[in-house]
Amino acid sequence: MRRTWSLLFSLLLLTGCALEAPLLRLSLGQEEVRAREGETAILPARVEARGLRARLFVEGLPPGMTPPPLEVEGKRELSLAIPAREAGTWEARVVAEGGGMRREASFRLVVEGASSLDLYLEGTVYVGGEGVAPQTQAATDRMAYCPQGCPGRPLGGGWYRVEGLGGQALGGLSLPDRPVRAQGGEAEPLFPEEWNLPLARFPEAWAEATGEGVVVAVADTGVLPGHPDLEGVLLPGLDLVDGDTDPTEPSTGSPLQTFHGSHVSGILAAAWNGVGMAGASQAQILPIRLLTPEGTGRESDLILALRWAAGIPVPGLPPNPHPAQVVNLSLSGEGPCSPALQEALDDVRARGVLVVAAAGNYGRDYRDYFPGNCRGVLTVGAVGSDGRLASYSNRSAPLLAPGGDGASGVLGPTLGGHRLLKGTSQAAPHVSAALALLRSRGAASPEALEGALLAGSRSTPEGRLLDAFAALKALEGGGVAFRVEGRLALKPGEEGSLPVEVLSPYPVPVRVAAEGGLAAYLAPNPAQGTAHLRVRAPTGTAPGAYRVRLEGGGAEATAEVQVKALPARVVLSACSEGGACRSLVLPPEGGPFRLEGLSPGTYRLLAFLDRDGDGALDPEEPRGEAEARPPATGVRLLVR
């Protein structure tokens, strides 16, 4: 009898060892969260409920400020939204309960009263006029809005192409008309293997997302609606070349015609219908024709296309019933980003639309070409099948993707079949497709999507290579990435500001470390979206190149600061009615600014292009003025 009980006890022990014990873990991403009265505080939390279902809730906050409880299973990363309805400071805790277990994690909530907030002015300085490089080709006509009709060739909807006049007009504003050109390559023999998709790890990503339901605008030469690979893919579009709503690219009969827009659209979203090639996503294409079959176009049409694609009403153009979430621009033009183009991109970004642009095929620095050098654009360089930077690709782009090189081109649709092309034009739609995959996973901010894309990319000696599968995983893990816009030039004793994009689904505490005795800090911090890196070069700082390092959330970035006499920079001053003034230095191309700690009342703002670096406004230096009362956002100054 004793032997029987002993055997049974041993079996029970062995059986118990095979069972996995329930587990409940809880941690918070930060110990203190801040918000202004009337806003929402975001608290990152990580919960692991293994073998049980846990209930997650918050204790210690006033009524009306407690987020609703959540049911959690498995391993989750959450962002708890806390309504900051009342000013004050509270010691609270997040609680996870389940399976007879209870876990707590404490945090502090600080809500600043509206009456105690610092007054600030926030906006953007655009540098135009003499600050813009001369056009490389004179425009021969312009667009005018004439609802009652006017001389010239009618484009439809009240728009007319008027011969013999330069520029374009939109709502009384003159638009630039520099040439833009498609960034595709030369034809290659048909090769049916899409080496580009495995290189960017799209097949692995398709098991997680396909991009279905996402609208991507392709502003290009138009499309071939009858091509089998584009069947069921195309939405009703727009033609800014002929002035109608048919974006079909006409055939010229030339053997050099590549049908660039169809090639780009097929790479991005060729239908998985058992015919032809596989697109990198299953997004829907919103085609916009703004380039001729030869691949040439004008900046003014690009500006109109961006606004229309995002669903922004454009006088004289029909409404867009299918606003895009992503815009693909496989084109570029030489010169800096113009104020009109930057303003359009800012407006598009404000609607949550992501813009992807080709870096250019000139083997130079991408920052010499628009729209890739504009703020808020994700610019893409090209690699060959070996993952190395293509010989033609412009350098230093923040992201690389397959574009072809040497004997390897990228497969895409053309008239009557397919062909291989090379170029940063072919690289850009890979990134647009990856963004479509990310967007189809659910609502996420542009910052979170770009952050996941950059955080998931693979580091190579020549840049960061797109990895669609890793980007999806980074989005799940709350991928974080930093993007520093431009470089800062200071003289000893000066303070300057650089915009920094903190690409993250939640505010990230950022550590700032500066070289050579420079003083630097990020405002705000923790940060999400646009923040401002403030740098001061103390008196006596030796001339030279310095770096400011940013770290947080597993991401890092470096800002470059040059201390020397400046050939040019933008100086911004804001003077109150009482005569007190605040000054800020911006890069020569201008950019976002934020002035804090101001007094109530009206401020007069003056921005000028300080060409000789003496800090004084000279008669021949371009300038712009405005008035604003803090707190205010969206303040705009045009320096010309």
Residue numbers annotated as active site: 220, 260, 425
Q: What are phi and psi of 66, to 5 degrees?
A: -95, 125
Burial 371-396 (b: 16+ CB within 10 A, else e): bbbbbbbbbbbbbbbeebbbebbbbe
Which DSSP helix (H) or strand (E) runs through 420?
Answer: strand 417-421
CB 436 within 8 A of CB 214: yes
Pairing mode, strands 590-598 and 119-127: antiparallel
- 7 Cβ contact partners less than 8 Å away, ≥ 6 residues apart: none
Q: What are phi and psi of 510, to 5 degrees?
A: -120, 130
574 beta partners: 582, 605
d(CA 279, CA 266): 6
Helices (H), 440-492: 446-456, 468-476
Burial 593-614 (b: 16+ CB within 10 A, else e): bbbbebeeeebebbbbbbbebe
Single-letter amino acid code for the residue at 318: P
CB 151 within 8 A of CB 160: yes
CB 67 within 8 A of CB 107: no
Cα–Cα separations (whole angstroms), residue 215 to 310, 393, 432, 433, 457: 10, 27, 10, 10, 23
d(CA 281, CA 413): 15
